[in-house]
Structure 1
Amino acid sequence: MLNLTRKVNEAIIINDNIIIEVLETRESKVKLGLIAPKNIKILRKEVYDEIIKSNKSSIKNESEIATLKNLLSKESIQES
C-alpha cells in the first residue's frame, strides 16, 4: 500500500486519467473529490464489500437451487 500525505487542494493522479483531490479536512474526516472516466466504477469500500457479499450469497443460493433441481429430477425419473 502506498501511503501519501496531502494538504487541502493537493491531489494525486492515477494512470494519467484519475485525479483524487483533498477538498476539505474537518475533525477526523477528509472530503475527497474524484475525477475519472465514466467507465470507471467508483464505490465506497463498504458498498463494494456489501455487493461482494451479496454476490457470494447469490452464487451459494444458485448452487443450492441447482442441487435441489437435480434431486427433484432424479426423484421424478425414479417414480416413472
Structure 2
Amino acid sequence: MLVLSRKVGERLLIGDDIVVTILDSRGDGVRIGIDAPRSLKVHRAEVIEAVTAANKEALAAPAVSEDQVLDLLPPAPRPATPPQD
C-alpha cells in the first residue's frame, strides 16, 4: 500500500486518466474528489460490503414459490361493467 500525505488542493494521479483531489480536511475526515472515466466503477468499500452481505443473506433465505408471492399481493380490481339497457 502506498501511503501519502497531501494538503487541501493537492492531487494524486492514478494511471493516465484518474485524478484524486483533496478537497477538504476536517478533524478525522477528509473529503476527496475523484475524476475517472465513466466506464470505471468507483464505489465506497462499505457499500459494496453491505450489498454483498445482503446478497448472501438473500441466498440463504428459504425459497419462495411464485404462488406465495402472488398471495402477498392485494387482489386486482375488477373492471367496471358497462350499464345494460
* TM-score class normalised by the smaller sequence: 0.5 to 0.7
Structure 1 runs of 4+ aligned residues shifted over 4 Å read: none
User: Normalising to structure 2: TM-score of the pair?
Assistant: 0.63
Higher-helix-fraction structure:
1
Identity %: 35
Q: Which amino acid aligns with 1:40?
A: L
User: Normalising to structure 1: TM-score of the pair?
Assistant: 0.67
Q: Which has the larger radius of gyration?
A: 2
RMSD: 2.0
For this pair of structures, how many residues does the alignment match?
A: 65
Task: Give the Cα separation in 1 of the matches to 2:40 and 2:58.
Answer: 24
Gaps of 5+ in 1: 66-80
SS in 1 for 2:5: coil
Residue 46 of structure 2 corresponds to 46
